[in-house]
Structure 1
Amino acid sequence: MIKPWEQVFLDPAGEPWVEFVSARSTANIFHHSAWTNLIAECYDYRPFVVAVQDGDGAVRAGIPMMETGSRLRGRHWTSLPFTDHCAPLHDSAVSSGRLTDSLVVLSDDSNTPPMGLRCNLPPRAAIQTYSHHVLHTVQLAQDSDGVFRRFQPMHRRNVRTSEKKGVRIEWGRGHEDLDAFYRLHLETRRRQGVPIQPRRFFDLLGSNLIDKGLGFVLLAYKDEQCLAAAVFLHWQRTLTYKFGASAADGLSLRPNNLLFWTAIRWGCENGYDVFDMGRTDLANTGLRAFKSGWGADEVPLTYSHLPPRTEGSAVGHLMPAVNAVISHSPLWVCRATGELLYKYVE
């Protein structure tokens, strides 16, 4: 006999969790088993779901997790690595509270590693919360012209400027389109001085999500030159901007403005309610202003730790030196650094 509000571990691809997630309109692509499987397969992490069930065995709340581990950081449970946010899903305030309580009980177990959750859990003494980022979301509507009118005048002008200067948008859902994005993404990451994701990540992104109709690539061209590209994922009511790249010598043509408008218009025309523009560091005021200019709501992005964390990542202290090396090195250094270190930088 199942006890009411019993805490259980579930398979993210198993029927009980898949059915529960599919029935939640607040779920987004990061709750989908295809995203979980992508991260797990690429980085060799162990995926699972912490859930609570009622007396009939029905899932009432849950949160996807990964067990990660390295010699540098030890074992951790994260929800989810390389993911901007992943809030618990629940069918009521009561089930949300029960799930939170079960996470607290788990964290007290000596066999449970530290937990880092990309969400703001209900307050408990054992939970530490912090916010170093913000999240921008645009509310979509069937009337895409009305959404366009909410943009700041500069963004509207830049969209029209890009169109007048002959920038065209190509839709991509094939692996050759991901290849084109990856090449530009590699150049962008080298310019920024940060490691790129392993090449295998984008191969799995194609097979796990884009091939299954859960995402697409937009590429902005002027004649034969690819000026900018972006990867968008979508599920339930949310269209999510996940990755972007651009050529430094093409920014005057405003290709990113046309890319974003094309994605937003598609979201409106296809019944999506929210355009998730992803997280931004609090200190990055320029990017925050760019995203807000699309009529986006900016809210603090709060994360939680169980038990409270007292020290940062050892890898994090090395990143300034890594950034300097990458930005002054050939492209292969950026790629090799990502292959070796990327799984440790989160």
Structure 2
Amino acid sequence: MITEFTTIDYELGRGAVNQLRIDHDSFKTGFRRLANAVHKYGTKIFVQLHHAGRESNSLLTGGKQLVAPSPVVCAAIGEEPRELATEEVKEIIDKFIAAAYRCKIAGIDGVELHGAHGYLINQFLSPNTNLRTDEYGGSFENRIRFLAEIIKGIKKQCGQDFPVTVRLSVDEFEEGGTDVPLSCEISRYLEKMGVDGLHASAGNYNTMETVIESPLFEEGWRVYLAEELKKEVSIPVITVGNIRDPQFVETILAEGKADFVAIGRGHIADPDWVRKVAEGRENEIRMCISCLHCAYSKGHIECSINVRAGRELEFLEMQTIDEKRRVVIVGGGLGEWKLQKYLGLKGMM
């Protein structure tokens, strides 16, 4: 399991209102409880470490100006960030390292550095957003230095056997941003550094439709990005993005296109996804329909086809009724077809 993004800098690095945080020792207790709960079932858990950089906003920073490698505006945010001083860059590196060490002390099994989706690490890697002239900008070696020093620091502080993976936007789908050739070069460099795995994602806030897809995208359309990285490295590669069907997952693995398949929204739609696959009950899976309701729900997480999402303690038991009923869905269009397909509803058009 990999947690959602978890901020290492609550003051300037947040990316969401209700975001997890590991920027202070006081949060170790909560992560210890999380680790214990997961380990009880023989599962491993990583915490995804994150700094939003220019993709935060002034509402989250309490009116403070956003920070970034360079003062390049993210069009989706519309706020000009200030360029981090060299000493500030080093301080953020230390915050990533300290956050990883807190995770280890709390019993977490490893960390994933969120270097995708246009967040701060991605901003340092991308020629489009890193225009610095100091040791952290310019050449490839300088642009990757920020990430490299974080990794070196974590391995030194937590031990070489403490797993560190890196999530990359293999293609930002934006002119001047990271693309497949650059990401392949980054991947080779990271493998030599001792990174334990790569998570092949895509996009940034300006190309948000490629970060979290609508139903218009084919299932697994991003798998080719992981496949490209696998040609370059021997460490495990994770693929992600609009993947629903268990047989499709098996095909990805069997064909060697990726070593792991990550599913996020699918587990919100049906938390028993893995259990049902393991028990041969694939036809009972309540499939995600990529409607994006979870991504834009207010307050707690919500799901358009799983009423219990975010309210599990309110609905401890959901019992089927004995009475059989006919169901009619009116005016659903594509949504109606998807519900018919994934929920097995037999109604009248």
**TM-score normalized by the length of structure 1:** 0.31
Query: Which structure has greater helix proportion?
Result: 1
